[in-house]
Amino acid sequence: MPEKQFLSPGEIAEYTVSVAQTKAASSAAKLLVLGFLAGVYIAFASNGSTMAAHNLLNNPETFGLGRALAGAIFGTGLMLVIVAGAELFTGNNLMIMGLLEKKITCKAMFRNWLIVYIGNFLGSVFIAVLVVNSGLLNSSANVFGGMTIRIAAGKTGLSFLQALYLGILCNILVCAAVWMTYGAKDIAGKLFSCFFPIWLFITSGFEHSIANMFYVPAGILAAANPNWLAAARISDGALANLTWANFFIKNLLPVTIGNAIGGVCLVGCLYWFSYLKKKPI
């Protein structure tokens, strides 16, 4: 019999617990560096997806196609995280399965999340600064810069609950993608496992906290350029909302909470209950 090229869901659950143990035991320096790299990779994907789709996104009649094209590009970020190796806060929400199996402690899990989250933020903002200062936002007669601002303003214009709900929806798909990559035994399987769920979440318009660590800082920085701001064609009210305070309070906080709810409760806990819980109810 040929060797099976993928793990069953029960085997994925067991493997996820072993991954959680490895992540919980990693040094702070390693987690910070790999978290930084994940932020860089997700920022590259965010910028590239906007570059590919910005003209389509700028037209209401082609907006949906623009989202679909952006989604097709964005999956590269998670591919780099999984295959090249990096630590992503949203994917690491699956560590809850290690905690529920009593293989890691609550302190070790939250330590991982905090250090990785900080690393993700540093990597994402680092790329945002480089992109804004690179001249790339002059593309398409400043329309790319304008779209960068519009995307950021749209995110800071969400209500707390909207951002929370969109964050929940997002990380169900992100953690499902990571879950499937754990089940794939070859590179092609891991790439396809990343591609389709991430394509779906971007096309759907859900909110990812780490991607927003690039999108919103890039938009805030870009808004200082009058040519890009004019191309953005946003209202004075939307521009007034585009601040660092609103980014942290109205977007990053609720989206992060939502991502954690989606990944921890609606993926990790449900799969633990389905495949690892020993005692029947």
Separation of alpha carbons 213 and 200, rounded Å: 20
pLDDT digits (tens, 9 = 90+) for 251-261: 999 999 999 99
pLDDT of residue 22: 98
| Region of residue 85 (left: phi > 0; alpha: psi -120 to 50; beta: else) | left
Separation of alpha carbons 251 and 230, rounded Å: 24
What does the longest C-alpha to C-alpha distance in the chain come to? 66
pLDDT band at 278 (very low <50, low <70, confident <90, very high): confident
Nearest 10 degrees: Cα torsion 189, 184, 3, 268: -160
Domain 9-275, CATH 1.20.1080.10 — does that match? yes
| Region of residue 152 (left: phi > 0; alpha: psi -120 to 50; beta: else) | alpha
HSE at residue 220, side-chain half, CA atoms within 13 A, is 21
Q: What is the pTM of this model?
A: 0.96
Place of tokens 């978290």: 35
pLDDT digits (tens, 9 = 90+) for 117-136: 999 999 999 999 999 999 99
Helix (H) or strand (E) holding 248: none
